[in-house]
Structure 1
Amino acid sequence: MKFTQKDVNTLTKIITSRRDVRGNNFIKKKISKKKLNKILEAGITAPSVGYSQPWRFVIADDKKRNEVYNHFTDVFNKSKEKFKDRPIYNKLKLEGILESDINIAVYYKESDEEVLGQTYMKRSGEYSVVCAILNMWHMARALNIGMGWVSILKPKKINKILNIDKNEYKFIAYLCFGYTKKFHVEPELKILKWNKKKKLQECLLT
């Protein structure tokens, strides 16, 4: 299959329009099962080392979402001490756990057998799961659905809430999906001047 310049332009728009959506932007609108499946299918078509396909997904129900939110609130308040020299941190909305329509926890399942390509880089399996997450993010954006990645969480606590065996699965990400009021033209943290965008030259090691 060959792609056209129009396809390239569309893909570029999707990639550059992807945003980390927070709870101050989600709206009360349900995601259809068909669109949820499209997002999940995009995830499982990601590349994986040794074709190991190590991703696993848990869709959190309302009770568990509330528990995750309570845990987030606790650790977020504790994290404020680390950013006390940047007062804006206290005002940031860094999750959309309750406001979003669907919460999905993403896990890595380690293989019981030797995996091709992981002989010396064991964590490449976990990196494969991150590829799945980015696929989901882009598909959600193409469907005009927002996604937020909540990272201020303790994996052990999330495992306990979701009743997941930490010896069998490794927690990678907690994602919030939902329709939004808008998608920011620029990343929100860039707009708030939390950090500036790096130029390509700054990212090249020479």
Structure 2
Amino acid sequence: MSTPSDTPGTPPDFDEAFRQKLTDLLAWRRDVRHFRAGRPVPESLIASLLDMAALAPSVGNSQPWRFVLVEDAGRRAKIIANFEAANAEALSDYRGAQAKLYASLKLAGLRDAPVHLAVFCDEGTAQGHGLGRRTMPEMLDYSAVMAVYGFWLAARAHGVGCGWVSILDPDRATRDLDITEENWRLVAYLCVGWPAEETDTPELEKRGWEHRRPAASVILRR
């Protein structure tokens, strides 16, 4: 893997074959909830994926992402309990056929995923000296999300799947992970592992929850 250099050089040749592969990568990057139980992901691979995630752009070069590998079984159990409570509350918002469909969905792979990764944004970081944040301080969070997406794409390129668990109480999760840094905000909780099946169609689309819209349907011109 190439690394940044202080001196300009010759950029890689991103040819048509690469561009097609990139399109395939984007199409096959799916939210994974079904993992091959009992098959670990090598620590060296996770370390490499985190290195690639840290190549993400960030406002003012602030690099606010903070990665927490959740390895303790007790802490994982608390996250699972957090999800189950939040999921039960979410179910109460739906009625009729939609409630029945929601109840049938598998919305997290927390029990089978060999790797749990929490991603926080350090909203108090001095790095970057505030550049680009005065009018849009949320750019710090967006920068951390870019790192999440970079990790996700890199993982997919190595055959590893990710699932983003957003049905959580973030404050409770932060406490359960013993994160005491005052300015750290939970941005993502990821399940990471080898997918039980491969598909380029979102599971929620297959289950009839929602369908993807083409980009043309959300483009405005002014």
Deviation at 1:57, TM superposition (A): 0.7
Q: Does 1:40 align with 2:50?
A: yes
The reply to whether residue 52 of structure 1 matches residue 62 of structure 2 is yes
* Residue number among 109, 128, 131 corresponding to 1:96 in the alignment: 109
Whole-angstrom CA distance in 2 between matches of 1:65 and 1:11: 34
Deviations 1:72-116 (A, max 9, x none): 111111110112240200011111112001001000012236411
Segment of structure 1 superposing worse, 177-186 or 126-135: 177-186
Q: SS at 1:205's partner residue?
A: coil
Runs of 5+ in structure 2 lacking a partner? 1-10
**Aligned counterpart, 1:169:** 184
Percent of residue pairs bearing the same amino acid type: 30
Alignment of 1:55-94 (within 5 A): 55-61=65-71, 62-85=73-96, 86=98, 87-94=100-107
Mapped partners of 1:15, 1:185: distance in 2: 9
CA contact (8 A) 2:29 2:200 kept: no
Count of aligned residue pairs for this structure pair: 205
1:1-206 alignment, distance < 5 Å: 1=11, 2-22=13-33, 24-61=34-71, 62-85=73-96, 86=98, 87-110=100-123, 111-112=125-126, 114-165=129-180, 167-206=182-221
User: 1:56, 1:194 → 2: CA distance?
Assistant: 33
Letter in 1 for 2:101: I
Distance 2:66 2:110 in 1: 20
Deviates further, 178-187 or 64-73: 178-187
Query: In 2, are the aligned partners of 1:159 and 1:166 still within 8 Å (CA)?
Result: no
- The 2-side partners of 1:186 and 1:25 are apart by 16
When Rg is computed on C-alpha atoms for both structures, the one with the higher figure is 2
Looking at structure 2, the residues matched to 39 and 27 of structure 1 have their Cα atoms a distance apart, in angstroms, of 21
**Runs of at least 5 residues in structure 1 that lack an aligned partner in the other structure:** none
- 1:28 is displaced (CA, Å) by 2.0
TM-superposed deviation, 1:147: 0.4
Deviates more, 1:46-55 or 1:3-12: 3-12
Report the 3-state secondary structure (helix = DSSP H, G, I; strand = E; otherwise coil) of the residue aligned with 1:147. Answer: strand
Q: TM-score, normalised by structure 2?
A: 0.88
Deviations 1:135-162 (A, max 9, x none): 0110110010110000000111001100
Letter in 2 for 1:112: A
Q: Post-superposition shift, 1:165?
A: 2.3
Residue by residue over 1:156-181, the C-alpha shift from the partner in whole angstroms, topping out at 9 and shown as x without a partner, is 10011001126220111100100122
Aligned-pair CA distance for 1:25: 3.7
Taking structure 1 as the reference length, the TM-score comes to 0.95
Q: 1:156·1:166 contact (CA, 8 Å) conserved in 2?
A: no
